[in-house]
């Protein structure tokens, strides 16, 4: 090979690193020779998905050979009814990560800059870098987004702002009033993406329903996903809600069949089972209470979270504790790549999984400090 195919890639892409996903259970069992491993690493729903989803998937087999409905009519209809929006404000994505990439591809060039926060979801730097746009990373405040700093960071060439509410991996969230004040101060030609991947879990009174703000702020793009509370991470389905012009643009760059038929059917069925969603939220809340109580007893500090995960300070390099936990058959997520080297992000599991995590963590920390 005489040609360097790395340096042939665009400058932005050359600066990328492949996304590090949570370790799959099968991989751990294969590599470490453990069995009955549990995974609390990727913020998946420990209850699985609604039984209605399983039923819906069965009905998909008869059309296995057909292309999906490229416009996702039935699912968009359900989403529109849920949020009281019009169907032509919805863009479906192959997971909401797909949407984030569509936004970057449609609106950013190497002449533009993007503002996002320190400790914010890793896909924002990824999609920004991929199109060669400039990164403006603002310091966090109490681990969360510092909206004043973000506003001050906006400059001449800023085209886009990414905000995760709540944020992953910190679990921090922004209140209605502060977010509204921020939006009031952002010029209309700068797009503001509010990533609400964990919105379903948040029960705080002053957590905003940003979808209701769309008519007031035409530069808003709200993204949601079926991967978390709805339990459909394997199928890849997410969506954006934005004004009709932005939606039109996103649909121009979207691959025609980015949402597969099974994902479309499953997502529609998942929306129809709001009882399952309520139960998922209940189990999460209970698990969160248990874990934080245990961390308090173990004198481990953590970042209070409104999501289905919590980042805990293990008092030493997270990667080291992560490795030891793998030997105990427990997969969590080290977050050194988020500039949180002493933290582990732990997804709230079923009660027995949470208990196993705590027992393993106690054992591992005792061993490492001995
Ligand atoms: C998990 C997550 C997503 C969604 O991922 P998809 O599976 O692609 O829908 C989006 N944003 C944040 C902050 C997340 O944590």
Q: Quickly state the pLDDT bin for 18 (edges 50, 70, 90).
A: confident
Mean pLDDT, the chain, rounded, equals 97
Largest interatomic CA distance in the chain: 61
How far is it, in rounded angstroms, from Cα 128 to Cα 154?
A: 15
Best probe residue, ligand 1, of 43, 95, 202, 307 (max atoms within 8 Å of C-beta): 95
What is the rounded average pLDDT of the residues 307-314? 98
Nearest CA, atom 10, ligand 1: 197
- State the closest ligand 1 atom to the C-alpha of 94, by its place in the atom list counted from 1: 8
Confidence of residue 22 (pLDDT cuts 50, 70, 90): confident
| Cα 32 to Cα 23, 37, 174, 330, 353, distances in angstroms | 12, 10, 40, 11, 19
Q: What is the pLDDT of residues 185-205, one digit of tens each?
A: 999 999 999 999 999 999 999
Alpha-carbon distances of 224 from 15, 20, 227, rounded to whole Å: 28, 22, 9
pLDDT of residue 1: 79
- Mutational test site, ligand 1, from 93, 116, 166, 168, max ligand atoms within 8 Å of CB: 168
For the ranges 16-25, 74-83, 141-150, which has the lowest average pLDDT?
16-25
**Residue found by looking up tokens 């990328």 in the block:** 16
H/E segment holding residue 134: strand 134-138
Ligand 1 binding pocket, CB closer than 6 Å: 43, 95-97, 121, 164, 168, 195, 197, 225, 227-228, 233, 238
3-class secondary structure, 42:
coil
Confidence of residue 317 (pLDDT cuts 50, 70, 90): very high
The CB density around residue 69, as the number of other CB atoms within 10 Å, is 17
Burial class (CB in 10 A: 0-12, 13-18, 19+), 204: exposed
Whole-number Å distance, alpha carbon 67 to ligand 1 midpoint, is: 25
Q: How far is the CA of 123 from the centre of ligand 1 (A)?
A: 8
Query: Pairing mode, if any, of strands 220-225 and 191-195?
Result: parallel
State both tokens at 285: 């809340």
Q: Per-residue pLDDT averaged across 36-41, rounded?
A: 95
CA 353/CA 348 separation, integer angstroms: 8
């Amino acid at each position: 090979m005489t040609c360097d195919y790395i340096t042939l890639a665009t400058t932005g892409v050359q600066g990328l690193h492949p996304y590090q996903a949570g370790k799959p259970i099968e991989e751990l069992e294969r590599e470490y020779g453990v069995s009955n491993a549990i995974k609390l690493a990727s913020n998946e729903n420990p209850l699985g998905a609604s039984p209605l989803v399983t039923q819906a998937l069965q009905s998909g087999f008869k059309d296995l050979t057909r292309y999906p409905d490229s416009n996702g009519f039935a699912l968009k209809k359900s989403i529109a009814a849920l949020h009281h929006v019009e169907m032509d404000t919805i863009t479906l994505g192959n997971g909401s990560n797909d949407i984030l990439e569509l936004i970057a591809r449609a609106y950013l060039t190497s002449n533009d800059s993007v503002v996002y926060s320190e400790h914010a979801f890793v896909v924002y730097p990824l999609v920004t870098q991929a199109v060669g746009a400039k990164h403006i990373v603002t310091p966090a405040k109490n681990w969360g987004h510092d909206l004043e700093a973000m506003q001050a960071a906006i400059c001449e060439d800023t085209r886009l702002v990414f905000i995760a509410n709540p944020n992953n991996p910190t679990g921090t969230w922004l209140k209605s009033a502060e977010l509204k004040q921020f939006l009031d101060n952002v010029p209309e030609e700068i797009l503001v993406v509010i990533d609400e991947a964990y919105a379903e879990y948040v029960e705080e009174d002053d957590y905003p329903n940003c979808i209701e703000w769309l008519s007031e702020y035409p530069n808003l793009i709200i993204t949601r996903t079926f991967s978390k509370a709805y339990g459909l991470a394997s199928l890849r389905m997410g969506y954006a809600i934005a004004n009709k012009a932005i939606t039109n643009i996103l649909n121009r760059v979207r691959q025609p069949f980015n949402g597969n038929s099974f994902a479309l059917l499953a997502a529609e069925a998942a929306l129809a089972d709001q009882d399952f969603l309520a139960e998922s939220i209940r189990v999460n809340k209970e698990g969160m209470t248990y874990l934080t109580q245990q961390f308090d007893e173990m004198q481990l500090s953590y970042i209070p979270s409104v999501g289905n995960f919590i980042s805990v300070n293990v008092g030493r390099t997270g990667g080291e504790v992560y490795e030891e936990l793998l030997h105990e058959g427990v997969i969590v997520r080290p977050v050194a790549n988020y500039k949180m080297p002493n933290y582990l992000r732990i997804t709230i599991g079923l009660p027995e999984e949470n208990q196993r995590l705590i027992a393993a963590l106690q054992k591992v920390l005792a061993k490492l400090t001995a």
